[in-house]
Amino acid sequence: MTPLVGGNAELAPSSISYDAIDAQRHPLMRIPSEESLNTVFPLPGMVIRCHSINVSSVGRQHAEGICAIRTSSTKVALRAVQLERRAARKRQQQTNTSSQTTIQQPLAHDHAAHSPSSFTIKDGYWIDIETPQRSTDELYEFLKQLRLPPFFVSILSEPFNWTSEVVALKQVALAIFQILPTNPNENVEITHVALLSMPRLLVTFHTFSSQNEDGANAVDKGLLYRLVSQYVKQRGRVPEPSNSGMLLAWLQFHVRRTARALRELRLAAVEMDRAMDRDHIGNFDFEQLVETKNCLLRVRSVAEEQHGTIEAIAVAEEGTEGLDFGNCRGALSMLRANASSNERLSSRVDKHLNELRERVMSHREDTLNQRLALLTILSAIFMPLTLLSGIWGMNFENMPELEYEHSYQIALFGMFALALCLVYSFHIAGWSS
């Protein structure tokens, strides 16, 4: 299945027959001409950026794999993919020929075809496509220009239905990766980015909100791209100048963003814990705890999805040519370790916030119980007094105590003494404390 563009007869005449055979087998995989590379037009409001990834002059002088990110064009990137596919088909053909014959010339030619790839580092490319929210039909027509497999086109044309997943075909791999929004504290929709990885080319495709035309959401447009671009241009961020190296650097950037958000939430939890110990817990701002908890739930869901997607990418390498981490196993191991660490850190922060919440709720329950205890004591004190008032308030003709000379004063004194006795007994029993 052709991952981005088909073969080009003008670039490699020796492979015309194989391209024609593929076109006959798969009518949807048409062979684009050299001019067709210029017909990929962006939709209104869509931004397409292209960069080349190669070894810098400093890296060549010191024999180090220091990668340089430079501006390039989509035509150059797509042509590199065509040439890479042609070279792969040619090597496959020569391998099949050499296995069926005993002639040494094809073997030597096969060795010559493999030797440049063994000692020559080819440039990789990164295409970033950023578009405002579009209808499914508009995105479908645009993505058809890129000669993507129809299955991938159907997925990418519905970004509102994206979920974290990894799909690997023979020569291209698709990963839907969940990332944090530009401001994790805002209650916004989950953000996903589609990653298309194929030999020598990585394509990132994502949408941004365009609800307000007054510039209110203009900060979202291009912000994540600028942050990623600044990160990968730093020394040693891209482990090798290939699509897989760029993919690892891109994933590492967003995993570190998630880790930074989790560390900030952990510091907020520690600060609230200190505030509880320093000040009276009754003055604690419970709304701040609720907001921190809600933010953690969003970040934790992203951390869990990122960890699962990265593990799926590592497993999918075995079944596709679009992923090759052979020269950057260390970077892949570090990425997996960081993603796993984020998931564990989110669990610890969640546990800490739950403990703070339990402390606040326990204090509120204690306060409520104390107030109920006070009301119970007051009710117990006034209950016998109410009984006496009810008895003396009965309208009977023969009530001798009402005829005594100082009956009113004696009744008040007796009721007061009874109340004092009850208060003293509650105090001795420890209820008043």
pLDDT, tens digit (0-9, with 9 covering 90-100), for 87-103 = 877 877 777 776 666 44
pTM: 0.73
The pLDDT assigned to 7 comes to 33
The pLDDT assigned to 267 comes to 94
Position with higher pLDDT, 324 vs 114: 324
Please provide the distance, in angstroms rounded to a whole number, between the alpha carbons at the two ends of the chain: 80
Q: Is the model's pLDDT at 376 over the cut of 90?
A: no
The band of 433, judged by pLDDT with boundaries at 50, 70 and 90, is: low
Mean pLDDT score of the chain: 78
The band of 186, judged by pLDDT with boundaries at 50, 70 and 90, is: low
Helix (H) or strand (E) segment spanning residue 124 = strand 124-132
The pLDDT assigned to 289 comes to 87
Which residues make Cβ contacts (< 8 Å) with residue 163, sequence separation at least 6?
Answer: 176, 192
The alpha carbon of 393 is separated from its chain's Cα centroid by a whole number of angstroms, namely 75
Strands 201-208 and 124-132: parallel
Q: Is the model's pLDDT at 14 over the cut of 50?
A: no
Q: Is the model's pLDDT at 63 over the cut of 70?
A: no
User: If you ran DSSP here, which 8-state letter would residue 101 be given?
Assistant: -
What would the mean pLDDT of 118-129 be, rounded to a whole number?
Answer: 76
The band of 331, judged by pLDDT with boundaries at 50, 70 and 90, is: very high
Buried b vs exposed e over 309-321: b needs ≥16 C-beta within 10 Å?
A: bbeebbebbeebb
Distances (CA, A) of 393 to 264, 389, 406, 408, 411: 69, 6, 17, 12, 12
Q: Which of 16-25, 37-46, 196-205, 267-276 has the lowest mean pLDDT?
A: 16-25
What would the mean pLDDT of 263-268 be, rounded to a whole number?
Answer: 94
Q: Is the model's pLDDT at 114 over the cut of 50?
A: no
Strand partners for 53: 69, 124
